[in-house]
Amino acid sequence: MSQHRKIRVAVVFGGRGPEHPVSCLGGGHLLNVIDRTRYEVVPVGITRDGRWVQVADEPSRLALTDEGEMPSVETVAEPGSQIVPWAGGPAGSSRLDRPPADVVSSAPGEIPHLLGEVDLVLPVLHGPYGEDGTLQGLLEMAGVPYVGAGVLASAVSMDKEYMKLVFAARGLPVGRYVVVHERDWPGRPPTAGTSGQASGSTRVRDAIAELGWPLFVKPARGGSSIGTSKARDMNELHEAIAVARTCDPKVLVEAAVDGAEIEVSVLEGLNGAPPDTSLPGKLELGGGEEYFDFEAKYLDAASVMITPPPIPEDAISELRRLAAAAFEAVSCEGLARVDFFYTPAGNIVINEINTMPGLAPTSYFQRMWEASGMPFAQVVERMLQTGLAKRPGLR
Ligand SMILES: Nc1ncnc2c1ncn2[C@@H]1O[C@H](COP(=O)(O)OP(=O)(O)O)[C@@H](O)[C@H]1O
Ligand SMILES: [Mg+2]
């Protein structure tokens, strides 16, 4: 690439999943942080119905409002994107005066031509159709380098069943769980008189009974705690499975782990070196919530992270070692956040790896790097550099 022009980076955010607004927060933040003296940034949004649109390069419009309202791609789409249900903004809006962009949109499923014209794609997408290997596959097909995990690492890490299988095979300490498919557990709600009675296949029913109460029920390929609930009895279990199924036909039922939630941020090592890990951070609930639900994660300002956590030094080292091992277990690239439980007895249980962790200004990923002495601009530069360094073809 010519030294005379800047490196063109498409920052892609939004997306079809329920984490659309969370992705917009991260996308907006990255538009702010990327070094514009080195990079030419092309902001690209994916609407909730899957259309790719060029969006305004206005990070302030991709932030949480004072009223606590989350941003969306629809509200920042450029006027040229006629296929987006967008009203055109207030009369006299300066955005309307701009010439339409070259490539503004494509139908759902079409490979956006724009992607062929950039040096690097930075997909800030969470959940299915973005963090799960589908977008990564599209970029591989188009021959465009991108930041973050590849197809396999993305897909394995998105699916909590396969993630746990890989972790367990690599000797990482996973909690007890049961996978519940639709065939195993019919959608019939418990009726009066039969409440407390289990239904579903005997194998699954027995396996769940062995987990004890309470249980955590979650969509296999979810995120941001959407569709996740805690079940304390059989009625709540039925309800929780029905809720999780609105996100994913495959559901995980897990034994509740009694422990502090501690996370570690990971960055791919430079020039093939082992991954770097941040100091761990311990999540503290703001109040009211029983676990880290959507509210606690994004809306409750009282939810904080303590870095480093008040635990023994050797536990901190072990958490960092396990985070790097988890990163390598799934062949992750670029970045990740690995989440653990730390029990009162000092045992560590790995909960999950997020190949595209939340990147909003208040994100735990950023805070842990800052606490470790790495400012976010430097973290982002590292993400871009390791993305640009990928060689084409199989890696
Ligand atoms: N097995 C469990 N034991 C205790 N708490 C859990 C368990 N599973 C999930 N949780 C709670 O639910 C939250 C979301 O679950 P998680 O598996 O991290 O899904 P997501 O991908 O949506 O973040 C966790 O941060 C934690 O607060
Ligand atoms: Mg989580």
Bridging pattern class, strands 7-14 and 39-46? parallel
- Expressed in angstroms and rounded, the spacing between residue 43 Cα and the centre of ligand 1 is 32
Q: Is residue 151 in some structural domain?
A: no
Query: Average pLDDT of the chain?
Result: 88
Predicted pLDDT of residue 116? 67
Structural domains counted in the chain = 3
Question: Residue 344: what are its φ and ψ, rounded to 5°?
Answer: -60, -25
Q: Minimal CA–CA distance to 138: which of 44, 241, 232, 36?
A: 44
More confident residue, 114 or 153: 153
Among protein residues, the one with the nearest Cα to ligand 1's atom 16 is 225
Task: Give the mean pLDDT of 4-29.
Answer: 94
Indicate whether 321 and 370 sit together in one domain: yes
CA 77/CA 180 separation, integer angstroms: 39
Indicate whether 40 and 97 sit together in one domain: yes
Task: Establish whether residue 225 lines the binding site of ligand 1, counting it when its CB lies within 6 angstroms of any ligand atom.
Answer: yes
Task: Establish whether residue 248 lines the binding site of ligand 1, counting it when its CB lies within 6 angstroms of any ligand atom.
Answer: no
Task: Give the mean pLDDT of 195-219.
Answer: 86
User: Would you tell me how many other CB atoms lie within 10 Å of the CB of residue 123?
Assistant: 27
Task: Establish whether residue 261 lines the binding site of ligand 1, counting it when its CB lies within 6 angstroms of any ligand atom.
Answer: yes
Measured at the CA of 112, the angle between CA 109 and CA 117, to 5 degrees, comes to 160
268 — pLDDT class (breaks 50, 70, 90)? very high
pLDDT of residue 327 exceeding 80: yes
Q: Is residue 18 in some structural domain?
A: yes
Residues with Cβ < 8 Å from 373, sequence gap 6 or more? Answer: none
CA 63/CA 73 separation, integer angstroms: 12
349: which strand partners? 341
Task: Establish whether residue 218 lines the binding site of ligand 1, counting it when its CB lies within 6 angstroms of any ligand atom.
Answer: yes
CA 281/CA 264 separation, integer angstroms: 7
Indicate whether 135 and 92 sit together in one domain: yes
Domain boundary among 220, 255, 290: 255
Indicate whether 262 and 215 sit together in one domain: no
Predicted pLDDT of residue 88? 31
Indicate whether 109 and 185 sit together in one domain: no
CATH number at residue 367: 3.30.470.20
Measured at the CA of 108, the angle between CA 102 and CA 109, to 5 degrees, comes to 100
Q: Is residue 365 in some structural domain?
A: yes
Identify the nearest ligand to the CA of 222 by its number.
Answer: 1
- Expressed in angstroms and rounded, the spacing between residue 4 Cα and the centre of ligand 2 is 43
Q: Which of 55-59, 102-106, 204-208: highest mean pLDDT?
A: 204-208
pLDDT in tens, 277-291: 999 999 998 877 889
Q: Is residue 21 in some structural domain?
A: yes
Q: Which structural domain, as residue segments, surrounds residue 292? A: 158-173+258-388
CATH number at residue 100: 3.40.50.20
Indicate whether 163 and 185 sit together in one domain: no
More confident residue, 175 or 294: 175
Indicate whether 223 and 281 sit together in one domain: no
Task: Give the mean pLDDT of 44-50.
Answer: 91
pLDDT of residue 297 exceeding 90: no
CA 264/CA 277 separation, integer angstroms: 7
Indicate whether 167 and 314 sit together in one domain: yes
CA 243/CA 226 separation, integer angstroms: 9
Indicate whether 248 and 326 sit together in one domain: no
Lowest mean pLDDT among 60-69, 143-152, 298-307: 298-307
Indicate whether 191 and 88 sit together in one domain: no
Q: Are 80 and 97 in contact (CB under 8 A)?
A: no
pLDDT of residue 83 exceeding 60: no
Bridging pattern class, strands 260-267 and 276-277? antiparallel
Task: Establish whether residue 293 lines the binding site of ligand 1, counting it when its CB lies within 6 angstroms of any ligand atom.
Answer: no
Task: Give the mean pLDDT of 64-83.
Answer: 78
pLDDT above 90 covers what percent of the chain?
71
Predicted pLDDT of residue 196? 46
13: which strand partners? 45, 124
Predicted pLDDT of residue 79? 67
CATH number at residue 231: 3.30.1490.20
Domain boundary among 255, 274, 307: 255
Indicate whether 97 and 211 sit together in one domain: no
Indicate whether 136 and 268 sit together in one domain: no
Predicted pLDDT of residue 157? 98
Domain boundary among 230, 255, 280: 255
pLDDT of residue 81 exceeding 70: no
pLDDT of residue 91 exceeding 60: no
CA atoms within 13 A on the CB side of 362: 15
Task: Establish whether residue 276 lines the binding site of ligand 1, counting it when its CB lies within 6 angstroms of any ligand atom.
Answer: no
